[in-house]
Amino acid sequence: MNRDDTLRHIATRAGLSVHWTDQSGRPQTVSPEALEQLLAVMGLDGATDGAARAALEKLDAIEREPAPLVTALVGRPFMVDAAHGEKAKLTREDGVVFEFELAGAGGGKAEARPILEPGYHRLAFGSREITVAVSPGRGRSIEDFPRRMWGLAAQVYGLTRKGDGGIGDFGGVDDLAEAAALAGADALALSPLHAGFSADPHHFGPYSPSSRLFLNPLHADPDFLFGEARVAEAARVARTASARRRHEREALIDWPAASRAKLATLRALYDSFCAVELLEDAPGRLANDFAAFRREGGAMLEKHAIFETIHADRFGRDPGQWDWRGWPSGLRDPDGPETEAFAHANAGEVTFHVFLQWLADRSFGAAQQVARKAGMAIGLISDLAVGMDAGGSHAWSRQQDVLVGLSVGSPPDLFNPNGQGWGLATFSPIALRRTGFEPFLATLRACMRNAGGVRIDHAMGFERLWVAPEGAPSREGAYLAFPVEDMLRLTALESLRNEAIVVGEDLGTVPDGFRDRIAAAGIAGMKVLQFERDDHRGFYPPGYYPSGALAMTTTHDLPTMAGWWSGADIALRESIGGQQFGETFGNDRFTRKNERAELWRAFVEASAAEGPQPEPQDHQPAVDAAVGFLGETPSRLVLLPLEDALGQVEQPNLPGTLDEHPNWRRRLPKPAPDLIAKPSAKARLVQLNRRRDA
């Protein structure tokens, strides 16, 4: 083989797709130069003949490594790396032991007898012992519920309540969940709650987390554990009371200022906790619960707290040390002696960050209890971002898990000729196999821990992700394959064990057969009203929506229904500049005019509206009709974004912008329960609630 063919061979072995099909259906080929860069980041140098041979030998060795975990389906035989006739001993989770012989299957593989019980069981044979994750194949599904349901979707940071300090928290979630449940809702979907960077409140995008294993303490509700009076006293001691009240009145979140005031209050509360509960001769309820939380969190919780402590120190000294890869070499090693010494010298600060996680976790769990107690069948639905920041806690703590140096994004398409780079790192498929999918399972469990469901952002990442070298244009990337069968089986098993539904965000370029694959696993795809049309028939009628998919009017990255109908999104992008979005706005306006007519016709045919089509500026009747239209669909779950329940024009996020639009900053003008009780919003919820009994 010549050098280019060798590179393509190594890339294919490593899981990179040399050939792919773009959005318009045209075949594309990744250049040898791009493959060389991608492979280099993955530790597979193909620059010379000798390096290429070494890379292939490395891949051979990886393939020979015995997997510590295999997945299987309930009642189906499964394969293991063993010889024919080898004795095996299965120890089920409940302690029951079975002994049997493995049947030969050829090629160094053997077939094990079926296991009838789902769970994580231990199988010993020869000198090895592995975990067998036996999956039901299908997790808890929205179709398992006996009736059609509805719920709301909310941006947690934008919820308001007295005492939230200017950033929405779980206290606001409590209030909204209870009010929505009383109106008949069975679910409340939340924006991502992942841990950010406490030392850098300018880094507040919820989809660019430091770690998906932990929570953003700015959303914690300390009132739940300590009561309003004690939190108010902490604010007085920290001298933040007036600042907190001022931030609560603002229409847009001032993340840097509000975060500083909130963290200062929480630090004063921590000092009080240390001086009272942690010094008591006989530890009380709070001290015991804190100790239990720290024990359960284990090494990963400690490392996250240590990361936060080091990050605050290094970034505070030098803004150029925001990324741990710029720290002194000793601190770049999470298990090294310098890191251990730093943590020991700053033990109180480390404990403070554990305290913050405890507050967030316990108030999250309390919010789910409120939702279920109020009558929700599902309760809270958390949101799992597609990746994590390469400069963050997870990438530092578990460097072997993450492809640091590759950025997740999307390939070139009609709207983005250079593709998109999201600045996020992802798991290494090789590391997933080597660790028995440990980081993937930990991430799923973290999102299901306090919720009745999880929405997985860019669910196509189960099968493949577009990756490019950091700093390189996204067009110089390629698709990286993931072990989709194993990941779907594990997701179904965790869904069953945690009694959590799973929603997969499957919008955009979707691999052939992917939607059928996730549906078979019980994962609900998404049907968004604005997208459900074709060029010939217009918008699809309600009956087109499958019962196993989630139906929505819009998402956080799209115009609200009022914004779409009025064309406010087009005007906004015009004001920013057309070239940034790769669109011709004259065509947009013409297209939108036709689409409005098509959508109103669909509303009328579905009996969700009547009479002549409203003008663009008269958008509230269109919002009402959209809600009624989705209420008629067979979809077992309809989620109405709070922005559409309230008929708001502005969308939470405008992709492709930074400061041009107030992304992730809008606060509700009043507490959500007060707003959804207003006549227009209440009428929309009543419309949806009719589907419960239909």
- Render 327-345 in DSSP notation, one character per residue: S-GGGG-TTSHHHHHHHHH
DSSP assignment letter at 578: G
CATH number of 75-135: 2.60.40.10
Tell me the sheet residues that pair with 454: 382, 502
Residues in the chain with pLDDT values less than 70: 414-415, 578-587, 694
**What pLDDT is recorded for position 580?**
56
**What pLDDT is recorded for position 280?**
73
163 and 174 Cβ atoms separated by less than 8 Å: no
| Structural fold of domain 143-692 | TIM Barrel (3.20.20)
**What pLDDT is recorded for position 13?**
96
Q: Which is nearest to 670 in space by CA: 244, 155, 158, 154?
A: 158
Q: Which is nearest to 431 in space by CA: 443, 421, 423?
A: 443
Give the tens place of pLDDT for each residue, 209-242. Answer: 999 999 999 999 999 999 999 999 999 999 999 9
**What pLDDT is recorded for position 491?**
98
83 and 49 Cβ atoms separated by less than 8 Å: no
Q: Compute the radius of gyration of the chain from its Cα atoms.
A: 26
Query: Rounded to an integer, what distance in angstroms lies between the CA atom of residue 403 and that of residue 401?
Result: 7
Structure tokens at 614: 């409203």
Give the count of alpha carbons within 13 A of 120, CB side only.
16
Query: Rounded to an integer, what distance in angstroms lies between the CA atom of residue 170 and that of residue 191?
Result: 12
State which amino acid sits at residue 528.
V
Q: Which sequence spans correspond to the domains of the chain?
A: 3-64, 75-135, 143-692
Query: Rounded to an integer, what distance in angstroms lies between the CA atom of residue 122 and that of residue 132?
Result: 6
Q: How remote is the C-alpha of 384 from its chain's centroid? A: 1
Residue 311 phi/psi, 5-degree rounding, is: -60, -45
Give the tens place of pLDDT for each residue, 657-672. Answer: 888 999 999 999 999 9
**What pLDDT is recorded for position 46?**
83
DSSP assignment letter at 446: H
Integer angstrom CA distances of residue 422 from 41, 409, 498, 656: 17, 5, 30, 10
Residue owning tokens 């227009």: 680
169 and 525 Cβ atoms separated by less than 8 Å: no
**What pLDDT is recorded for position 415?**
64
Strand 149-154 and strand 78-80: the pairing is: unpaired
